[in-house]
A and B are shown apart, each in its own frame.
Chain A
């Protein structure tokens, strides 16, 4: 079974699909409860998220701050647009490096699939270029490699 896929749609959309061996309720909670988000949204090994603001309600603020523990770091801000408990989250986000990246409009859905969940994350980039840049960086191949690694571990 392939765990994660990345596909383009139109010229501004990027769709990530990932399966999880847990109910939609658990996967949704893992995206909306700060104490849980802090446990997994960590980035590369050695990084942590000391600040996690996640106000899961329409208009609620998102602010994630990451650090490598060696003085390096960056942060992300965003706003929730719409939430349907356990099935759908719509939000806008941008990274600050420290200059803000273009706004990424994200719709995430959680669908029951057997005993698990199929998560679909549809990112709408501001233009074709931002997406082209993401893809040309080999994002797709990198992801593929990482889930092949994951398959080997299971």
Chain B
């Protein structure tokens, strides 16, 4: 199971969010990532390791290359959790409208 704390901690860094955005376009290698981010390979490697540990990306071995890509399951789990929060909030307030209407002082009803 995805550790949400680790996932949110991984997302805390703007570079890591940018890496995820880049990976959303497709699989790539650390070398290819280092280029647009103007970062050294070890620095990118560190970020990749954090994202991998959080279950947000996966890497595979292809000869000497170790390309990384998004881990759909990890991303989906975060989306699911946040989507649930959003829907719950909106639905709750609609429910509260009804509860408040029922709480209104009775005399209002008889007002002409």
- Chain A hits for B73, CB < 8 A: none
Q: Is the CB of B95 within 8 A of A39?
A: yes
Shortest distance in angstroms between B93's beta carbon and chain A's nearest beta carbon? 6
- In chain A, positions 15-30 with a C-beta closer than 8 Å to chain B are 16, 18, 20-22, 26-27, 29-30
Q: Does A111 contact B (CB under 8 A)?
A: no
Which of A51-59, A79-87, A141-149 contacts its partner? A141-149
Q: Does B100 contact A (CB under 8 A)?
A: yes
Q: List 5 A-B contacts (CB under 8 A).
A: A40-B98, A43-B88, A43-B91, A47-B88, A128-B14
Report the count of interface residues on B (CB-CB < 8 A).
36
Q: Does A42 contact B (CB under 8 A)?
A: yes
Interface residues of B (CB under 8 A from A): 3-5, 8-14, 17, 78-79, 81-101, 103-104
**Contact flags (1/0) for A40-52 with B, using CB distance below 8 Å?**
1111110100000
- Chain A hits for B87, CB < 8 A: 43-44, 142, 146
- Chain A hits for B103, CB < 8 A: 22, 26, 29-30, 36
Closest to B9 in A: A129
Shortest distance in angstroms between B95's beta carbon and chain A's nearest beta carbon? 4
Given contacts A133-B11, A139-B86, contact A42 B92 (CB under 8 A): yes
Shortest distance in angstroms between B71's beta carbon and chain A's nearest beta carbon? 15
Shortest distance in angstroms between A128's beta carbon and chain B's nearest beta carbon? 7
Q: Is the CB of B86 within 8 A of A137?
A: yes
Q: Is the CB of B90 within 8 A of A4?
A: yes
The 6 closest A-B pairs by CB, nearest first: A137-B82, A129-B12, A146-B90, A43-B88, A22-B100, A129-B11
**Distance in angstroms between the alpha carbons of A16 and B89 in the assembled complex:** 10
Q: Is the CB of A143 within 8 A of B90?
A: yes
Q: Is the CB of A4 within 8 A of B91?
A: no
- Chain B hits for A142, CB < 8 A: 83, 86-87, 90
Q: Does A101 contact B (CB under 8 A)?
A: yes
- Chain B hits for A43, CB < 8 A: 84, 87-88, 91-92
- Chain A hits for B4, CB < 8 A: 97, 99, 101
Closest to A25 in B: B103
Most buried by B among A3, A132, A137: A137
- Chain A hits for B12, CB < 8 A: 127-130
Given contacts A137-B79, A142-B83, contact A101 B99 (CB under 8 A): no
Q: Is the CB of A26 within 8 A of B104?
A: yes
**Distance in angstroms between the alpha carbons of A133 and B10 in the assembled complex:** 11
